[in-house]
Amino acid sequence: MFSEYIPSINIDYYKSLWAAASKTEIQNILYKNKISIDEFAVLLSPISLEMLKDIAYIAREKTIKKFGYNIGLYTPLYLSNYCVNACSYCSFNCNARIIRKHLTIEEVEKECKEIKKEGFDNILLVSGEDHEKVNINYLIDAVKIAKKYFSYVAIEVYPLEEKDYKILRDAGLDGVTLYQETYNREVYKIYHKGPKANYSYRLDTMDRAARGGIKRLNIASLFGLNDWREEAIYLAHHINYLRKNYWNVDLALSFPRIRPNSLGFKPLYPITDKELVLLIASFRLLDDSLSLVLSTRESESFRNGMIKICVNNISAGSKTNPGGHLEDDSDGQFVIADNRTSRQIYEYLRSIGYEPVWKDWEKVL
């Protein structure tokens, strides 16, 4: 389990690598076909920001070679904004005074029908962490309904047991998205109250999902809670760990930054646009087969730029509130920065010579 592996990661060692990095060392790394986590740490150096164009160019070349000019499209469907946790950065905080809504299974199907009209064949079912309202039987029903309309169905909910992932896999579940939020155990304690405060249980979620037969796993840190370079090292180790132990699983990495929300939370460790470009491009150099995901948390201009560099999967037409696709009155998780419709994003991608991919997944034996 990854919770047994993570104590072996010496963050101070990696800090020394990016602190001592030179332009010559970085340039030498750019000529390599495959880089190590040590070399990845060097790329994260502040001095790399002065060489960002070179790094972005190599990242683009590797992305086109691996994925071509194809961009996967998906959209989230929020099932519920009820939550039992009191996380200080999240609008779904159980103490927040927001308009709550929990979709019935009938409403889930209505949302699926509406989303399908837009052309999507890839959907992410999202909910706040309320184990009673969104229990395993509800999730089974929601996945079965979604599978009637979409080839690829993933969930982003609270951590589950291995047996539950097996049950959901048999119901049609293809993927699991789960953010650790921060891999620093002490920092994690500061932000989380409620069942989510169980750091190790959350950390081992992807082990349980992989053992449960889930074929695509998407991990992330929530950037702004802790130093982004430190989080990047943990993420790199987590990716390598999952590749080594579950070689037949597809892996994806998201890059969520804290967005304005109803709590007015302000991140203590903000990451700039240039730093985020460096981070995402460096991951492409570390692992050229990794799916890099960028959601509508980011602005239209930033996402347009990253599509041309190394991102190969984006959300579109997103709504962050339950019933949002049918314009129901409930509060969302965060403010969306890219408000383009799925059709507008589709047309933009075609205009720059990229192929929007509504469907890139088929479950086969």
DSSP output for 138-167: HHHHHHHHHHTT-SEEEEE-S---HHHHHH
The pLDDT averaged over each successive group of 10 residues in the chain (365 residues) is 96 96 95 94 97 97 96 94 90 84 94 93 95 96 97 96 98 97 96 94 98 97 97 98 96 90 77 97 96 94 96 89 71 73 94 88 48
Q: Say how many Å lie between the first and final Cα of the chain, rounded.
A: 27
Rounded to an integer, what distance in angstroms lies between the CA atom of residue 29 and that of residue 25?
6
Rounded to an integer, what distance in angstroms lies between the CA atom of residue 66 and that of residue 201?
34
Which tokens is 340 given?
């383009």
Dihedral sign, Cα of residue 160, residue 83, residue 184, residue 26: positive
Rounded to an integer, what distance in angstroms lies between the CA atom of residue 108 and that of residue 152?
16
Q: Scanning the structure block, which residue is given the tokens 């896999």?
A: 169
pLDDT of residue 91: 82
Q: Which CATH superfamily includes the segment(s) 2-357?
A: Aldolase class I (3.20.20.70)
pLDDT of residue 3: 96
Dihedral sign, Cα of residue 204, residue 215, residue 64, residue 276: negative
pTM of the model: 0.94
Domain boundaries, the chain: 2-357
Rounded to an integer, what distance in angstroms lies between the CA atom of residue 302 and that of residue 317?
16
pLDDT of residue 364: 46
Rounded to an integer, what distance in angstroms lies between the CA atom of residue 202 and that of residue 200?
5
pLDDT of residue 11: 97
Which tokens is 268 given?
């203590």
Which tokens is 109 given?
């199907």
Which tokens is 12 given?
């101070």
Distance of CA 52 to the CA centre of its chain: 23
3-state class of 322 per DSSP? coil
3-state class of 171 per DSSP? helix
